[in-house]
Chain A
Amino acid sequence: MGKSEADRAMAGLNLIEWALDAVLALLVLGLALAALSTPALFRAVVLFIAFGLMLALVWARLHAVDIALAEMAIGAGVTGALLLATLLRLEPPIGRGGEPGDAGDD
């Protein structure tokens, strides 16, 4: 394979990789912004769990596979379960109900 062909193949690969990076970055930032700005707490926690899963993909993208495994299990799994359990244990419990007082503002 000549050098120019190799360069062109490499450039094509990099375009896909850059697109993947851009989409992942947008997803991660968007989920973080949404989780922190939504007025309903239950929705914020669910968005945070989704953020954790996207972050695991980011770790895989950055060649940090150990951290991807740990993030999926601990960051998204255990932290998500802890947050949801806390939503239930606050009195009165904060659910995903439709009334304004129930949507988890405080």
Chain B
Amino acid sequence: MMDLLWTQAVFWALVGIALLVIGLYALIVHAHLLRKVLALNIMSSGVFVLFIALARRAPREAAGGADAPAQVVPAPPDPVPQAMVLTGIVVAVAATGLLLALIVRLRSVAGRTTLDNRADD
């Protein structure tokens, strides 16, 4: 049971790292600012998945009684990373809101939604 918990945690940690890397690639490659915002959000989601997957690896052996063998009981997951990720989700939405307001303003002032000012957009 301990091994399976650890394997599940590592599996989701790898998924989180994959999301992070995919988001980072899209952040660098795309020019449109809205796509960059989407990529940032997916990157932060990947980091959160990594955090919570690593928080899942806390099994605990419960001492059995005189007649029952010692069982490995999965403990409640670590609450500190969960609290940090909850904070992170709220901060991510705040940052997204501000970024989107800035993008709308940039579009209305400069007429473009990319960071560079080459003439063809």
Direct contact of A and B (CB under 8 A): yes
Q: Is the CB of A83 within 8 A of B19?
A: no
Of the candidates B18, B82, B121, which one forms a contact with A64 in the assembled complex, judged by CB atoms under 8 Å apart?
B82
Encoded as 1 (CB less than 8 Å from any A CB) or 0, chain B from 79 to 121 comes to 0001001100110110011001001100110000110000001
Interface bin, chain B: 35 or more
Contact A32/B11 with A67-B82, A86-B103 known, Cβ cut-off 8 Å: no
A45 to chain B, nearest CB (A): 7
Min CB gap B33→A, angstroms: 10
Show the binding face of A for B, using Cβ within 8 Å.
10, 14, 17, 21, 25, 28-29, 32-33, 35-37, 41, 44-45, 48, 51-52, 55, 58-59, 62-64, 66-67, 70-71, 74-75, 78-79, 82-83, 85-87, 89-91, 105-106
26 contacts between A and B (CB under 8 A): A10-B1, A25-B12, A29-B15, A33-B22, A35-B38, A36-B23, A36-B26, A36-B42, A48-B38, A51-B45, A59-B52, A62-B52, A62-B56, A67-B85, A67-B86, A74-B93, A75-B41, A75-B89, A82-B93, A82-B97, A83-B96, A90-B34, A90-B103, A90-B113, A106-B32, A106-B114
What residues make up the interface of B, taking CB atoms closer than 8 Å to A? Answer: 1, 4, 8, 11-12, 15, 18-19, 22-23, 26, 30, 32, 34-35, 37-39, 41-42, 45, 48-49, 52-53, 55-56, 76-77, 82, 85-86, 89-90, 92-93, 96-97, 100, 103-104, 107-108, 113-114, 121
